[in-house]
Chains A and B, each alone.
Chain A
Amino acid sequence: KAGVTQTPRYLIKTRGQQVTLSCSPISGHRSVSWYQQTPGQGLQFLFEYFSETQRNKGNFPGRFSGRQFSNSRSEMNVSTLELGDSALYLCASSSGTSGGETQYFGPGTRLLVL
């Protein structure tokens, strides 16, 4: 099976802009979770989508949003970018049926905000 894919892999934006990141889960997986990874804060949970519905949400401002499509692909959007949003954004997929299953991570999208 193909792994989790994320596009784009690298992105440079300026403050105030918005950005959309995409994640394609492993075939058959219905849960997609997003995490932000920074040197200072480590890996932090953003949100999880399962069957097109947000199932969990972390402690991030409303500028961070996401959605999931009927084919389980997911996008996350960050509006009004701030310098502190520079990070590696990771998505992880799992079957989603029982919670606590193995999550498989993609390679991430590295976002730099100037």
Chain B
Amino acid sequence: GENVEQHPSTLSVQEGDSAVIKCTYSDSASNYFPWYKQELGKGPQLIIDIRSNVGEKKDQRIAVTLNKTAKHFSLHITETQPEDSAVYFCAAKSWNNAGNMLTFGGGTRLMVKP
């Protein structure tokens, strides 16, 4: 089955700096890669996703890049703000799977210091 590794597990940055979180996956058949943000006491919220036919996707301060050859994808947050502090999860889904089963990485706790 799919295995997703996420690094780092914790990340501390100064407000205004950039943050990068990296994930690797094992199943070359995976074709959908969402990123979720989870704040304390809440469920995960989708912030951006990318499909395997695209190498990069950007939404304001957030961008995701995908390298299918190397089987890794990354989340980039620019101009970080204190409200970006949360736990971020990457996930992968294989096209072999007809449904919506996601395999998640272990999570990254991002702390943005004012």
What residues on B are CB-neighbors of A103 within 8 Å? 34, 46, 100, 102
Summed over the interface, the residue pairs from A and B with CB atoms below 8 Å come to a total of: 73
- Could you say which of B44, B98, B101, B107 has the most chain A C-beta atoms within 10 Å of its C-beta? B101
**Residues of A participating in the B interface, judged by any CB pair closer than 8 Å:** 4, 31, 33, 35, 42-45, 48, 50, 55-56, 58, 90, 92, 94, 96, 99-108
In this complex, what residue of A is CB-closest to B32? A100
1/0 per residue, CB under 8 A from A, across B95-114: the answer is 10111111111110000000
- Distance in angstroms between the alpha carbons of A65 and B114 in the assembled complex: 45
Chain A positions within 8 Å of B25 at CB level: none
Distance of A55 from chain B, by nearest CB (Å): 4
* Nearest 5 interchain pairs by C-beta: A105-B43, A43-B104, A100-B32, A55-B99, A56-B101
Given A90-B43, A102-B46, answer yes or no on A56-B104 (Cβ-Cβ < 8 Å).
no
User: How far does the Cβ of B52 sit from chain A's closest Cβ, in whole Å?
Assistant: 10
Report yes or no: A56 in contact with B107, Cβ–Cβ below 8 A: no
Q: How far is the CA of A108 from the CA of B89 in the complex (A)?
A: 16
Whether a CB of chain A sits under 8 angstroms from the CB of B68 is no
Closest to B46 in A: A102
Instruction: Decide if B99 touches A48 in the complex (CB within 8 Å).
Output: yes
Contacts of B93 in A (CB 8 A): 99-100
8 A-B pairs with CB atoms under 8 Å apart are A33-B102, A48-B99, A56-B98, A90-B44, A92-B43, A99-B93, A105-B43, A106-B43
